[in-house]
Chain A
């Protein structure tokens, strides 16, 4: 028997595989397959927000202190934030398996 890999029965799908519930992508964590993750050094950060602006996902959220914190559930590990940071405050480190 083939291993059951399906998410749901084909009968439950909307025609054309339309998604009838807009915005449901927040339910899906899309960052679980990354190999590297950004780590912030708050000492160096000047809160300029460029990481937040340039992240293609966008995974950064601003916290009460004004720091931009990456939500790793959505980060895909591309390293753009680390490359764009003018202060070298972000380091990409290998994700542990």
Chain B
């Protein structure tokens, strides 16, 4: 068993990355990710981590360096947030199309303007279609475990993985965290062996032109690999449970067995929501919670199964898709339900934007609204929750 220590989550995440024996860390510091890469820089500087630390001049270069390094067979890490992620944008689909097992931690932060350093999921939602496997952590322990998991998955599926942590709320709190014993990490994440890589002794070309006669096929091949990664993800969690005793699934449910209404949410706000569920359950209200841990590839079947017998759900989004039929998660959920026989009413609220607090009382109100939504006329669009009129 690993040792349980109280640590700032960013530091614990960096320690986990170091335990994964990365060869290259390339990053540009941006709040609220800074502590992660700073600590990694310390570890490299102190000789505790035998890796190249590339202090680049921008996030675009950070991802470029990871791509170049990963293509030679190196294990890589980077981390970013908000505008930094957007600055990386051009390189993100290249990492996935090249099938490179890059791992990135995104300390989720609202995007500008107005400038906000606080948390929501607006940043990562911009990259949801770019072929990165994406997981969302709820707390510090999960953040650390999802880092181990990310390397396992990335290198088995040969696809990049983004681990999302809520900025400040998760990254900057001190929590009791259990890091795995090094020998278990070594077993779970053996040295990276790539079938094809850049090697002067065995030259190959990566990044050739894709004329119209081949581009479609290239994307189809990538998409098939991406969809197949679902199984890799689930298997990696099962194997993780064997070594750590900690169980993870693409969709987590809380008190859903007999729930009539449910809240659907991602990230750390689920902890607050769980308290609300407990409080309402004590009052005899049949409420439940569904938390999406694996966002891409979207676990449609698990999600539909998780719904149980609910009559109405509220999807609580942490990002806007201006002028769309819902927030990103709301759209996803409605689309999944359309093909299913199980079709509860869906209320889609967008809230906790730019660090706005959402309390247990807010969630109580939200559950009340979900109950009254069972009989209400369906509403197709979304609503921004908590905006002062």
Report which of A5, A11, A19, A22 forms a contact with B221, defined as CB distance below 8 A.
A11
Once bound together, how far apart are the Cα atoms of A14 and B222, in whole Å? 10
Report chain A residues within 8 Å CB of B213.
5-7
Determine whether A26 belongs to the interface, using a CB cutoff of 8 Å to chain B: no
Knowing A16-B98, A18-B206 are in contact, say whether A7-B214 is a contact too (CB < 8 A): yes
| Known A6-B213, A7-B213, A10-B224; contact A17-B204, beta-carbon cutoff 8 A | no
A25 to chain B, nearest CB (A): 8
Are B205 and A22 in touch, CB under 8 angstroms?
yes
- With the chains together, A15 CA to B208 CA distance in Å? 13
Are A15's CB and B196's CB within 8 A?
yes
Taking a contact as CB atoms closer than 8 A, the residue among A6, A7, A15 that contacts B225 in the complex is: A15
Query: Cβ of A9 < 8 Å from any Cβ of B?
Result: yes
Q: How many interface contacts (CB-CB < 8 Å) are there between A and B?
A: 59
Q: Please determine whether A8 and B203 come into contact, CB atoms closer than 8 angstroms.
A: no
| Separation of A16 and B194 alpha carbons in the complex (Å) | 12
Beta-carbon contact of A17 and B220 below 8 Å: no
Please, how many residues of chain A have a CB less than 8 angstroms from a CB on the other chain? 16
Q: A13 within 8 Å of B by Cβ?
A: yes
Q: Which residue of A lies closest to B194 (CB)?
A: A15
Task: Indicate if B20 sits at the interface (CB-CB under 8 A).
Answer: no
B196 CB, min distance to chain A CBs, angstroms: 5
Partner of B204, one of A7, A9, A13, A22: A22
Q: Tell me, rounded to whole Å, the shortest Cβ–Cβ distance linking B227 to chain A.
A: 13
A residues 11-59 near B (Cβ < 8 Å) are 11, 13-20, 22
Q: Is the CB of A10 within 8 A of B208?
A: no
CB neighbours (8 Å) of A7 from chain B are 211, 213-214, 217
Within the complex, the shortest CB–CB distance from B235 to chain A, in Å, comes to 19
Write the nearest CB–CB distance from B204 to chain A, whole angstroms. 5
Chain A contacts of B204 at CB under 8 A? Answer: 18-20, 22
Show 8 residue pairs from A and B whose CB-CB distance is below 8 angstroms, ordered by the A residue.
A9-B217, A13-B214, A13-B217, A13-B221, A15-B158, A16-B99, A17-B221, A20-B204
A-side residues, CB < 8 A to B, are 5-11, 13-20, 22
